[in-house]
Structure formats: C-alpha cells, structure tokens
Amino acid sequence: MQWKEKSQLWGINRKSPLSDIIYFSPVLDSLFDPMHVLLEGLLPNNIQLLLSTLSSQGILNREALNKSIKKFEFCKNIKSSELPKPFTSADFKVKSTSKSVLTLAIHLPFWLRLIEDNNFLKCFRMLVAIVKIIWSQNVNYYAIQHVSNLIAQYIRTFSEIYSRTNYTKNAHACSPS
C-alpha cells in the first residue's frame, strides 16, 4: 500500500521518527494515553517505590518530607489542586491528581537533594526527564534520540536496583505488590 492510500485511510503521511528508536516498537509500545500511563501509573508507582526504599534504608523520614512539602513556596501559577499532597501512610502511597503527581515528581529531587546521591535517585531523575521530554511541546529528532537512550538506561537501572521487587500489572503500569 502506498503512502497516499495510507494517508487517506488512516491519516499516515510519512514514516514516524519513533520507528527509529531501538528499544521502541510504535505498534507495541505506543502510549495509548500518556496521562494515565505516566502520570497516574509509572510516576506514582516509582515515587512510592523510591520513597519506601529510602525510608526502609533509614535515609528518609516521612514526617520531615511532609514538612518540606507543606513549607515549600510553589510558583503562584500552580493551582492549589495541583499541589502535592502530604504522605499519610508509611508506604508512601501517592493519592493525588495527575497534575499534582507531575508537580511532586518535578519537585521531589529538590526535596531529596540533601540525601547522598544513589542509583535509586538517579533512576527516578531519569524517569522525570523522560516524562518532561514526552510532555514537552517541542519534540524533535534529537529529543527522540535522547529519550530513546534515557528509556534504555532507565530500564537497565530500574531492573538492576529493584530486581527483588515483585510487580503486578494493572491498567496503568506495573506496580510494586
């Protein structure tokens, strides 16, 4: 089938740059709904996994983190409904809207800056970088190459550091069980 026929049938006008990403199959790995997959799936699950890991290692205190979140002066254009909520349980379950999860994810590395850098923090920062690129308004060929490399590195790092964690698949993403 020629491109003209594909364009008329399915709106395909040219080959997508996404098909050049090594670890990405446009058919198998396309994000059906980035908000649900990233902001209500991967990010909250990774935040919970990161914070519960740091807490279990005695590196992070939930009350101190909550105090930092409450005291932080956010930009005035962030609505109160988009602000991160304090963690009410010891398992660091994220109970927020997708916008507040994104706000939390972007600011979390700042609140954790006093913790000695480790692979758990590096892995989380990679995920935040991936999300920022995917949600950016200006994605070009170089950004796609960069996110492709970040995804591969993130998967390797995540698999290494969380190799003993059990996961269950749900509608949004894999989550710790």
pLDDT tens per residue across all 177 residues of the chain: 666 776 667 666 777 787 788 887 776 776 567 777 788 889 999 999 999 999 999 999 999 999 999 999 999 999 988 999 899 988 899 988 889 999 999 999 999 988 888 999 999 999 999 999 988 888 888 998 999 999 999 999 999 998 876 555 444 454 454
Question: Is residue 55 in a domain?
Answer: yes
Question: Is residue 2 in a domain?
Answer: no
Question: Is residue 25 in a domain?
Answer: no
Q: What is the pLDDT of residue 172?
A: 45
Question: Is residue 133 in a domain?
Answer: yes
Question: Is residue 86 in a domain?
Answer: no
pTM for this structure? 0.75
Question: Is residue 148 in a domain?
Answer: yes
Instruction: Using alpha carbons, select from 97, 92, 96, 100 the residue that is nearest to residue 47.
Output: 92
Domain tally, the chain: 1
Quote the domain boundaries for residue 56: 33-70+94-177
Q: What is the pLDDT of residue 171?
A: 43
Question: Is residue 19 in a domain?
Answer: no
Question: Is residue 12 in a domain?
Answer: no
Residue 48 to residues 17, 44, 64, 104, 170, Cα–Cα distance (Å) = 33, 6, 16, 12, 15
Which amino acid does the sequence have at 109?
P
